[in-house]
């Protein structure tokens, strides 16, 4: 296991900026407004051939000035227990704070290696600003700038001394199933992550917009590894005015680009809304697998037709995702939550399936013989050759003499035949039509050559007109 290094500090000291600097990403949302980070965020660090896991935590507040202060503190305590090395970050521009003293007192009795960083020191001329922090009775204070990179090398060289030689391997994300949990604010995404992981991994509140960043959590279930990506709630554009929320929505949408499966979480107690359908559309556009998860099912007034009615409503409103399975759960009570993993595995298996070329050709040929495509300008459409060219999602290509002339309804017919005969019923599939290289493929693109006799005949006609 790689060593875990956790960043602690009061709000707005620059922990997320340091996180982005060390992981060489922009995964953590950064803003001058304090209290942006609320949940623990992890990333991989590669530095001088050494590697470790870095954890960004929420800003420490010792009183109840923030409605989320208690939840954030609980997350901090859990991060302290889980990490191997503690790094405390102070604000060199603001100076020493009573919160710094309280945090240091909280961490003092933990018997783990500790490093102390004074951030926002942009150059050697500002290093004098670190002297006040020696009042805390600590040594080896590192002046750094997370924004500009000043002092990072000196800090990292000492930090890496705590990383054993066997840990000095390239930090690579393990090959796991990436699952993004998307939905409107307050649909229960963080509650679902907590239930799936079996711990209070995310801050949960009835206040919409509690989660601001996309937070990754790796778990193992029945010998399979999953990366759960909890995202911020996606509201309609017209209702998003706050800059931080705009960043949060962008991060949520980007999580769909790096996931294999999207769990489209819907608050069943509110029914299917226009925004739920729009979010499902984002998943369909990005080509990832999708599962509709109807949460808060325990709050729905049910009869023997409730499930069927919801399913019919989803199939009608989100007809562009006919392949997405539907499951009803309660993240609060745990009802049917365990079945999500088996459903993810089922969709993922189809999502990564490869079909032999001979079988693909056989399916397309049989479909074309059974239902002949319509004529194009008096000429027959010919399907020459078909093959699968990619997975995730399964992508097929057919070479046709006039690909632009194939009507979308006939293309849909071929897609349905591929689903029927390959068993790919729970994953998106793509069929691309391409022009075949060769004489027949370009028959309409070049004018026919006139023979000498026809050429002379056309000249005579022109002379007659004169």
- Give 317-375 as a DSSP string: HTTT-TT--EEE-BTTTTBTTTHHHHHHHHHHHHHT----HHHHHHHHHHHHHHSPPPP
Take residue 139 and report the two structure tokens written for it: 């040594």
Residue 327 — very low, low, confident or very high, per pLDDT cuts 50/70/90?
Answer: very high
pLDDT tens for 43-70 read 888 888 788 989 888 766 655 555 445 6
Average confidence (pLDDT) over 207-212: 44
**Selected residue with higher pLDDT from 177 and 34:** 177
β partners of residue 5: 54, 85
Which pLDDT does position 236 carry in this prediction? 63
Residue-wise pLDDT for 414-437, tens only, equals 999 999 999 999 999 999 999 976
Band of residue 210 on the pLDDT scale cut at 50, 70, 90:
very low
Segment 341-353, tens digit of pLDDT: 999 999 999 999 9
Q: Is the pLDDT of residue 325 over 90?
A: yes
What's the mean pLDDT in 127-153? 90
What pLDDT does 341 receive?
Answer: 94
Strand order, beta sheet including 430-435: 383-390, 395-400, 430-435
pLDDT at 340 over 50: yes
Position 463 scores a pLDDT of 54
pLDDT of residue 252: 77
Q: For residues 412 and 61, which has the higher predicted lDDT (pLDDT)?
A: 412
**pLDDT number for residue 419:** 95
Q: How far is CA 58 from CA 11, 18, 78, 295, in A?
A: 7, 13, 12, 27
Instruction: Read off the DSSP letter of residue 274.
Output: H
Residue 451 pLDDT greater than 90, yes or no: no
**20 pLDDT higher than 70:** yes
In the chain, CATH 3.40.50.300 covers 4-167, 177-351
Share of the chain above pLDDT 70, in %: 79
The C-alpha atoms of residue 255 and residue 282 are separated, in whole angstroms, by: 11
Mean pLDDT for 187-209 is 69
Mean pLDDT score of the chain? 82
The pLDDT assigned to 260 comes to 95
451 HSE (CA, 13 A, CB side): 2
pLDDT at 251 over 80: no
292: burial class by Cβ within 10 Å (0-12, 13-18, 19+)? buried
Check pLDDT > 60 for residue 165: no
Q: By mean pLDDT, which of 19-28, 211-220, 349-358, 370-379 is the weakest?
A: 211-220
364: tokens are 């397309």
Tell the residue number behind the tokens 């069943």, with chain if given: 268
What does residue 58 show for φ and ψ, rounded to 5 degrees? -70, 155
Entry field: residues in the chain: 466
* Band of residue 281 on the pLDDT scale cut at 50, 70, 90: very high
Report the C-alpha gap between 337 and 70 in whole angstroms: 27
| CATH 3.30.930.10 is the classification of domain 357-442 | no
**Class of CATH domain 4-167:** alpha beta
Q: b/e map of 162-200 (b: 16 or more CB within 10 Å)?
A: ebeeebeeebeeeeebbbbbbbbbbbbbbbbbbbbbeee
Confidence of residue 206 (pLDDT cuts 50, 70, 90): very low
* Angstrom distances, CA of residue 10 to CA of 89, 99, 100, 101, 155: 8, 6, 7, 10, 20
Burial class, 288, CB count within 10 angstroms (exposed 0-12 / middle 13-18 / buried 19+):
buried
* pLDDT at 63 (0 to 100): 55
H helix runs in 371-451, sequence order:
408-422
Residue 198 clears pLDDT 90, i.e. is over it: no
Beta bridge partners of 265: 183, 293
Q: Regarding predicted confidence, which is higher, 74 or 435?
A: 435
Q: Which residue has the higher pLDDT, 80 or 210?
A: 80
Q: Does domain 177-351 have CATH number 3.30.420.40?
A: no
Q: Is the pLDDT of residue 287 over 80?
A: yes
């Amino acid at each position: 296991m790689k060593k875990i290094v956790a960043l602690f500090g009061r709000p707005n000291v620059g922990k997320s900026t340091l996180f982005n600097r060390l992981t060489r990403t922009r995964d953590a949302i950064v803003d001058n407004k304090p209290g942006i980070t609320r949940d623990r965020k992890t990333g991989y660090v590669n530095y001088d051939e050494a590697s470790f896991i870095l954890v960004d935590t929420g800003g420490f507040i010792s009183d109840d000035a923030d409605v989320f202060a208690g939840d954030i503190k609980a997350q901090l305590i859990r991060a302290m227990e889980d990490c191997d090395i503690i790094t405390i970050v102070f604000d060199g521009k603001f100076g020493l704070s009573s919160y710094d003293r309280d945090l240091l007192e909280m961490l003092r009795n933990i018997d783990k290696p500790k490093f102390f960083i004074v951030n926002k020191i942009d150059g050697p001329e500002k290093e004098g600003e670190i002297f006040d922090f020696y009042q805390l009775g600590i040594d080896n204070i590192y002046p750094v700038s997370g924004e500009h990179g000043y002092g990072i090398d000196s800090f990292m060289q000492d930090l890496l001394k705590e990383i054993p030689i066997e840990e000095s391997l390239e930090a690579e994300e393990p090959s796991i199933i990436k699952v993004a949990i998307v939905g409107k604010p307050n649909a229960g995404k963080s509650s679902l992550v907590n239930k799936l992981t079996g711990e209070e991994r995310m801050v949960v509140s009835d206040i919409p917009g509690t989660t601001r960043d996309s937070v990754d959590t790796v778990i193992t279930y029945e010998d399979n590894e999953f990366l759960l990506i909890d995202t911020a709630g996606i509201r309609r554009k017209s209702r998003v005015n706050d800059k931080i929320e705009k960043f949060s929505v962008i991060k949520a949408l980007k999580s769909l680009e790096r996931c294999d499966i999207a769990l489209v979480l819907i608050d069943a107690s509110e029914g299917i809304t226009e925004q739920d359908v729009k979010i499902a559309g984002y998943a369909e556009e990005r080509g990832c697998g999708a599962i509709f998860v109807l949460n808060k099912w325990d709050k729905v007034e049910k009869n023997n037709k409730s499930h069927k009615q919801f399913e019919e409503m989803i199939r009608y409103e989100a007809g562009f995702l006919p392949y997405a399975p539907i499951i009803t759960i309660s993240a609060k009570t745990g009802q049917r939550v365990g079945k999500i993993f088996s459903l993810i595995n089922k969709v993922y298996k189809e999502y990564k399936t490869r079909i032999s070329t001979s079988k693909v050709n056989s399916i397309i040929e049989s479909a074309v013989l059974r239902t002949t495509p319509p004529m194009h300008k008096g000429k027959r459409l010919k399907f020459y050759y078909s093959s699968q060219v990619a997975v995730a999602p399964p992508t097929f290509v057919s070479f046709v003499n006039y690909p632009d002339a194939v009507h979308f309804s006939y293309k849909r017919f071929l897609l349905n035949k591929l689903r029927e005969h390959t068993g790919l019923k729970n994953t998106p599939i793509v069929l691309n039509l391409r022009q075949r290289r060769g004489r027949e493929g370009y028959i309409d693109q070049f004018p026919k050559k006139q023979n000498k006799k026809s050429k002379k005949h056309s000249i005579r006609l022109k002379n007659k007109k004169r």
